[in-house]
């Protein structure tokens, strides 16, 4: 894409994700099902954290485009590196994981991830904005422009560290409230839950590798080390 077209696209994507994040963050308190919005509020859900991540990513992307347009190349270089790192390590694999895992579990038994009580709180369009649209947005970003991936070991370590932080947050919430973030987790024994978390981490790493593969197939080799 031309830089002006990319700037427009990233601006619109940033506005979209900002609007969706604002919408879910301002669900009226009196409408929130008590069994869903407890300790940690919306910020315990990977879906909502992913919306924040995507908002930040597209904001950084828009800033990088603007700096390129006004010829501030020295500043743009640093911002572009941050943009590519955000996309490769987090934005693509996490959004892909959120969309595919959510709809897989929803199809199997929606009460495990998205209780029916939420239907009266979160409109259908917002549900699809959070869980469906994130995947085509991620794929479109790969098609729109090349992204430089870090060395594989460093990328996987960074992704694993972020996954560890989220799992720690989930376990902390359980230790405080005695309730799991997702009802699904209550079905597992401690060993089964550890295996589930390990499998989820392996899946999100596979999505990271898939994003790198797509980027390389479409745009050729484009790596950077740091």
What band does 27 get if pLDDT is binned at 50, 70 and 90? confident
Q: Is the separation of the CB atoms in 97 and 53 below 8 Å?
A: no
Whether 96 is covered by a domain: the verdict is: yes
CA-wise closest residue to 22 among 47, 56, 52, 60: 52
As a whole number of Å, the CA-based R_g of the chain is 18
Whether 32 is covered by a domain: the verdict is: no
151 torsion bin: left (phi>0), alpha (psi -120 to 50), beta (else): beta
Residue range 120-169, pLDDT digits in tens: 888 999 999 999 999 999 999 999 999 999 999 999 999 999 999 999 99
Whether 52 is covered by a domain: the verdict is: yes
- Give the range of the structural domain holding residue 130, as residue numbers without chain letter: 3-26+39-219
Whether 172 is covered by a domain: the verdict is: yes
With a pLDDT cut of 90, the percent of the chain lying above it is: 71
Report the number of distinct structural domains present in the chain.
Answer: 1
83 burial level (CB within 10 Å; 0-12, 13-18, 19+): buried
Whether 224 is covered by a domain: the verdict is: no
Strand, coil or helix: 38: coil
Task: List Cβ neighbours of 176 (8 Å cut-off, separation of 6 or more).
Answer: 39
* pLDDT (average), residues 34-38: 54
* pLDDT score, position 42: 83
* pLDDT score, position 2: 82
Whether 226 is covered by a domain: the verdict is: no
What band does 223 get if pLDDT is binned at 50, 70 and 90? very low
* pLDDT (average), residues 35-44: 71
How far is 219 from 1, CA to CA, in rounded Å? 12
How far is 68 from 191, CA to CA, in rounded Å? 50
């Amino acid at each position: 894409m031309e830089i002006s077209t990319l700037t427009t696209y990233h601006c619109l994507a940033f506005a979209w994700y900002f609007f969706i994040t604002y919408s879910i963050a301002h669900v009226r308190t009196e409408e929130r099902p008590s069994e869903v919005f407890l300790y940690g509020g919306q910020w315990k859900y990977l879906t909502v954290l992913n919306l924040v991540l995507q908002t930040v990513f597209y904001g950084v992307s828009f800033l990088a485009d603007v700096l390129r347009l006004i010829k501030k190349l020295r500043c743009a270089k640093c911002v572009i590196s941050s943009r590519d790192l955000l996309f490769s390590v987090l934005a693509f694999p996490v959004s892909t994981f959120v969309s595919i895992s959510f709809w897989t579990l929803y199809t199997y038994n929606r009460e495990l991830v998205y209780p029916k009580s939420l239907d009266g709180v979160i409109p259908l369009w917002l549900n699809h904005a959070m869980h469906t649209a994130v995947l085509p947005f991620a794929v479109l970003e790969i098609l729109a422009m090349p992204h430089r991936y870090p060395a594989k070991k460093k990328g996987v370590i960074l992704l694993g560290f972020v996954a560890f932080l989220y799992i720690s947050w989930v376990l902390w919430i359980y230790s405080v409230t005695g309730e799991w973030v997702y009802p699904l987790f209550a079905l597992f024994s401690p060993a089964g839950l550890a295996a589930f978390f390990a499998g989820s981490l392996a899946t999100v790493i596979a999505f990271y590798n898939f994003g790198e593969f797509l980027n390389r197939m479409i745009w050729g080799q484009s790596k950077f080390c740091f």
